[in-house]
């Protein structure tokens, strides 16, 4: 029996939705907004992805994990395409993704007004602590373990936590 495109695409969507970010295993790459589209072109499933930033070292692992998930779902013909434009934005993170970031101890991005430099926004914003929810927090470093995160410290519970910077 030959599967319809709809069945194949549904299998692909379900498989890709199970792939998590290697740096944040509580969040799927779909919920992070890395997956731009899942489509079919001439019998091939095409997964289009955008890195959270152009130098993201996790993208190679993410591509391998997508391929493994698709093969495990019985999809043999697929292609993964990276696109850099338009650039990824934290606005693409789903509400489920934001909850996953919090579960992982990472404060999700706050809404940031356009044209406000991230450095200015980081200095002036009290980011809620993902451990105790206090807004009595202070910026420790504009750069965390990855360029897309900053480090904060909660002055109430004394936790140090990462903050996913809005871009």
Condensed to tens digits (0 to 9), the pLDDT of residues 105-134 reads 999 987 654 544 455 555 657 789 999 999
Cα–Cα–Cα angle for 98, 99, 104, rounded to 5 degrees: 95
Mean pLDDT of the chain: 88
Which ranges in the chain are annotated with CATH 2.20.25?
Answer: 105-164
The third-level CATH classification (topology) of the domain covering 105-164 is N-terminal domain of TfIIb (2.20.25)
| Residue 86 phi, psi (nearest 5) | -70, 155
Q: What Cα–Cα distance (Å) separates residue 138 from each residue in 33, 38, 150?
A: 28, 40, 11
- Relative to beta strand 160-164, strand 149-154 is antiparallel
Give the pairing of strands 78-82 and 44-49: parallel
Nearest to 56 by CA among 163, 146, 167: 146
Instruction: Please state whether beta strands 44-49 and 149-154 pair in parallel, antiparallel, or not at all (unpaired).
Output: unpaired
Q: What are the pLDDT digits (tens) for 80-111?
A: 999 999 999 999 999 999 999 999 999 998 76
Helices and strands (DSSP H and E) totals, the chain: 4, 9
Structural fold of domain 5-90: GMP Synthetase; Chain A, domain 3 (3.30.300)
Model confidence over 11-23: pLDDT tens digits?
999 999 999 999 8
Residue 35 CB partners (closer than 8 Å, separation 6+)? 16, 29, 47, 48, 49
């Amino acid at each position: 029996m030959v599967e319809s495109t709809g069945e194949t695409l549904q299998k692909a969507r379900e498989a890709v939705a199970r792939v998590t970010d290697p740096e944040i295993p509580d969040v799927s790459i779909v919920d992070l907004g890395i997956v731009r589209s899942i489509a079919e072109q001439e019998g091939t499933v095409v997964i289009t992805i955008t890195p959270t930033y152009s130098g993201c070292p996790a993208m190679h692992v993410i591509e391998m994990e997508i391929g493994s998930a698709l093969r495990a779902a019985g999809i043999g013909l697929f292609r993964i395409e990276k696109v850099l434009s338009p650039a990824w934005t934290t606005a693409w993170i789903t509400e489920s993704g934001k909850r996953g970031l919090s579960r992982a101890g990472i404060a999700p991005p706050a809404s940031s007004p356009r044209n406000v430099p991230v450095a200015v926004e980081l200095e002036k914003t009290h980011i809620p602590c993902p451990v105790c929810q206090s807004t009595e927090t202070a910026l420790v470093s504009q750069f965390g373990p990855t360029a897309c995160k900053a480090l904060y410290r909660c002055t109430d519970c004394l936790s140090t936590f990462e903050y996913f910077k809005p871009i």
